[in-house]
Amino acid sequence: MKLRDNQQTNVQEVLSAFEAGAQNVLDVFPTGGGKTVIESWLIKHFNQPTCIMAHRKELVGQIALALARNGVQHKIIGPKDGKLIKGVVNIETRELGTHFYHPNSSFTVASVDSLLSQKNALKNWAHQQRWWMIDEGHHVLRKNKWGKVVNMFPNARGIGFTATPCRADGNGLGRHAAGVYDKMIVGPSPRALINEGWLTDYRIFAPPSDLDMSKVSLSADGDFNKRKTRRAVRSSTIIGDVVEKYLEIAPGKLAVVFADSIENANDITKNFQDTGIRAEMVHSKTPDTTRDEIVRRFRERELDVLVNVDLFGEGFDLPAVEVVIMVRPTQSYALYCQQFGRALRIMDGKNFAIIIDHVGNVVRHGLPDKLRQWTLDSRERQPRCIDPDDNIPLRYCPECTSPYERILLLCPYCGHKPIPASRSKPEFVDGDLYELDPKVLTEMRGEIDLIDNPQATVRKMKFAGASLAAINGYRKKAAAKCEMQTALRESISWWAAYQQQQGRPDAESYRLFYHTFGIDVMSAQCLGRPDALVLANQINERLGVM
């Protein structure tokens, strides 16, 4: 195995973490970036009894095949009926001409459920293991089944691999939080791998949708309730739109559809088939042999579309995927990135991946190749971008359906200029003062004048017979407010000057200010002293890192 430079850097950082005393390490590497190569290299490097785990039998076979591709012999712990072992041997033999299964190997690939169900019988073996590794390491919490299986290996150190070290429920993955990891190693970003040619770039299309998720509650895991999601999808036109948009945007390309339920997936598959498109469906209840045969046919282009439910979001290695069609709305950033990433693997003739988002996942979560702030701490449910400018929300273009940042005046893909539904308030125009109704602007300027010209108010107070104490009190508060506003407006001017240096037009700067600080420029100039102080500090802090 020859590691790329970014993989070599990653494994050295992992090894350094262990040398520094870490017991368990979480290794973050993008989907499609080569985690299994790193995993295989580390297994050979340690050359000690190691258990590599996955939470589904489908992924056990995927890991075993990846190890086989890298020349690593392995044994398998799965259901006692032996079907998993037989299936893995057949797949490896079909692809590689031989298999790498060896019942006495010191390297074991196992399913989490099989390990737990055979816990007592495996006790001596488990105590002999010196390393455990787990794909999709963000699943591991001390009190869940992944944490329980980790506890089976008291004499082992561990490595979790993931592209997204976060959970929809917000639980932290660190030992000090709810997890088991002592150190996190963050590899290259997805955008870095795209720019270096290790992943393919993408285009996103988001057809208009009438899907209403406003009444769909969240489950305990932080994602949408599955039963209510199924009803919401069935109540929309999405199931009928999927085939139409595939034919319009990506006809003939190999596509994976992520459906929310077996019922909806079955209808989508039938719609494809009725249109003459070669499509099949797989899900957790599909027999192993049937599923493997369907995937083989897809890989060899005997099928055009593969519809799945909860199978290919994690660990699915199929470089031939050219299109991802999202029909499952999710609040899980990790699941969203996993689905998105299925299409980013490079292949000959694929200039870019196509993402067709029918359910608003892209706007819900943002672009997956933005740099994110990862942490082992418990936190809010969606990781923030490292660069706050990257947190700008997206909108869908009504003409070409592509998503783009709301600060842009025109769609960068087709040039369409959106028309505000109303010009009566700043929030309707993304804070763009040029788009506001002139009457509204006049009223807002009047409010600013009251701050800048307190004498007018003083005259009114005198005319109304206000006491001298009341007038002096007002003058004191107005002076403090004016002083703070002067400082705030100076900060705003510096911020505007910087945006001008970056070549932003004023309208775009207004929008950026609004989405960055949550208030438009004119309303900011009416803030009282405490709020003005907070905003000035926020602007100054941003200017300090620009």
Backbone angles phi, psi at 175, to 5 degrees: -60, -30
> Within 10 Å of residue 224's Cβ, how many Cβ atoms?
23
The Cα–Cα gap between 6 and 347 comes to 20
pLDDT per residue as tens digits for the range 153-176: 999 999 999 999 988 888 999 999
In terms of Cα–Cα distance, which of 15, 28, 30 is closest to 345? 30
- Lookup: tokens for 24: 């368990």
The Cα–Cα gap between 30 and 268 comes to 30
pLDDT per residue as tens digits for the range 144-153: 999 999 999 9
> Could you tell me what percent of the chain has a pLDDT over 70?
96
* Residue 104 CB burial class (10 angstroms; 0-12, 13-18, ≥19): exposed
pLDDT per residue as tens digits for the range 20-43: 999 999 999 998 888 888 998 999
Residues paired with residue 205 on neighbouring β-strands, in sequence order: 356
pLDDT per residue as tens digits for the range 44-54: 999 999 999 98
pLDDT bin (cut points 50, 70, 90) of residue 59 is confident
CATH class of the domain comprising 194-370: alpha beta
Residues paired with residue 355 on neighbouring β-strands, in sequence order: 204, 324
pLDDT per residue as tens digits for the range 409-455: 999 999 999 999 899 999 999 999 999 999 999 999 888 888 888 88
In terms of Cα–Cα distance, which of 249, 206, 203, 210 is closest to 397? 206
DSSP state letter for 185: E
- How many Å is the Cα radius of gyration of the chain? 28
The Cα–Cα gap between 411 and 396 comes to 9
Ranges for all domains in the chain classified under CATH 3.40.50.300: 5-188, 194-370
Instruction: Please list, in sequence order, all residues whose beta carbon lies within 8 angstroms of the beta carbon of residue 90, skipping any fewer than 6 positions away.
Output: 292
The CATH number of 5-188 is 3.40.50.300
Q: What is the mean pLDDT of residues 455-466?
A: 83
The pairing of strands 183-186 and 201-205 is unpaired
pTM, two decimals, is 0.80
Q: What is the pLDDT of residue 140?
A: 95
Average pLDDT of the chain is: 90
DSSP state letter for 372: B
Rounding to the nearest 10 degrees, give the CA dihedral for residues 448, 449, 450, 456: 180
Please say if the pLDDT value at position 470 is more than 80. yes
Q: What is the pLDDT of residue 362?
A: 93
Instruction: Please list, in sequence order, all residues whose beta carbon lies within 8 angstroms of the beta carbon of residue 41, skipping any fewer than 6 positions away.
Output: 1, 3, 7, 11, 70
CA angle 391, 397, 401 (to 5 degrees): 105
CA angle 360, 364, 365 (to 5 degrees): 125
Residues paired with residue 354 on neighbouring β-strands, in sequence order: 203, 323
In terms of Cα–Cα distance, which of 355, 361, 437, 383 is closest to 172? 383
| Lowest-confidence segment of 88-92, 347-351, 395-399, 456-460 by average pLDDT | 456-460
pLDDT per residue as tens digits for the range 233-268: 999 999 999 999 999 999 999 999 999 999 999 999
pLDDT per residue as tens digits for the range 290-336: 988 898 899 899 999 999 998 876 666 666 799 999 999 999 988 99
Q: What is the pLDDT of residue 390?
A: 61
Please say if the pLDDT value at position 471 is more than 90. no
The SS3 of residue 356 is strand
In terms of Cα–Cα distance, which of 386, 387, 414 is closest to 401? 414
